[in-house]
Amino acid sequence: SQQGEEDPQALSIQEGENATMNCSYKTSINNLQWYRQNSGRGLVHLILIRSNEREKHSGRLRVTLDTSKKSSSLLITASRAADTASYFCATDSSNTGKLIFGQGTTLQVKP
Amino acid sequence: DTAVSQTPKYLVTQMGNDKSIKCEQNLGHDTMYWYKQDSKKFLKIMFSYNNKELIINETVPNRFSPKSPDKAHLNLHINSLELGDSAVYFCASSVQGNNSPLHFGNGTRLTVT
């Protein structure tokens, strides 16, 4: 069964604006990860946030995690056209490294 | 010097055929995976191997058979291909254990006609 659900499914913004994507999940987790997928390419890992962490930053990316609400958000600040991609959250609930992916948010950044 | 490489990139074949997809990683990782991404971009794990040992098998039809000759390689063989097998198949690898991000290949787009 699908663990993560992402919101919105699609997002279109102008370059320079911020983009926020949300992810909700159903069971307890060890960590939550965000990945980016450019068209026709594999997924690229962006950020991993552990269940005991609440916020994490990496460059223009900011991830929050609220385990009480079973939700996470990914904020991309000062977006660029090159940020156009699909973004996926994935949860790790087991000790086997098995990741359950959300359905993804397709982000379009217009120049 | 691609970290996770899979071949072929595209595979077009007819129903009933048998095909293989190969994957190699040069990251020194212990764990490798096969994921399937459908036309709606939904990504689902199929198999995971750790040091050549199968550790995850997600209710995949037994027409799909993974083979790991060594920890740097995980191949996927599919027998009697069906229309519903059309998808993009991704190989990935990670360091063993929790809290390890996955490194993905660029995918193999399989089209069954």
In this predicted structure, the answer to whether residue A61 has a pLDDT above a threshold of 90 is yes
CA distance B99 to A48: 7
pLDDT of residue A2: 47
Which of B23, B42, B19 has the alpha carbon at shortest distance from B33? B23
Three-state secondary structure along chain B? CCCEEEECCEEEECCCCCEEEEEEECCCCCEEEEEEECCCCCEEEEEEEECCEEEEECCCCCCEEEEEEECCEEEEEECCCCHHHCEEEEEEEECCCCCCCCEECCCEEEEEC
Question: Which H or E run contains A64?
Answer: strand A61-66
Chain A residue numbers with beta carbons less than 8 Å from the beta carbon of B41 are 37, 86, 103-104
Contact B106 A33 (CB under 8 A): no
Chain B interface residues (partner A, CB cutoff 8 A): 4, 31, 33, 35, 40-45, 48, 55-56, 90, 92, 94, 96-107
Give tens-digit pLDDT for A64-92. 999 999 999 999 999 999 999 999 999 98
Contact A98 B45 (CB under 8 A): yes
pLDDT band of residue A1 (cuts 50, 70, 90) is very low
- The chain B residue lying nearest A89, using CA atoms, is B43
Contact B105 A86 (CB under 8 A): no
Chain B residue numbers with beta carbons less than 8 Å from the beta carbon of A40 are 106-107
pLDDT of residue B60: 85
Contact B4 A42 (CB under 8 A): yes
Chain A residue numbers with beta carbons less than 8 Å from the beta carbon of B89 are none
Interchain CB contact of A44 with B (< 8 Å): yes
Contact A45 B102 (CB under 8 A): yes
- pLDDT by residue for chain B (113 residues), tens only, comes to 669 999 999 999 999 999 999 999 999 999 999 999 999 999 999 999 988 888 888 878 999 999 999 999 999 999 999 999 999 999 999 987 667 899 999 999 999 99
pLDDT of residue B96: 76
Q: Which two tokens stand for residue B55?
A: 């550790």
Give tens-digit pLDDT for A2-52. 466 888 999 999 999 999 999 999 989 999 999 999 999 999 999 999 999
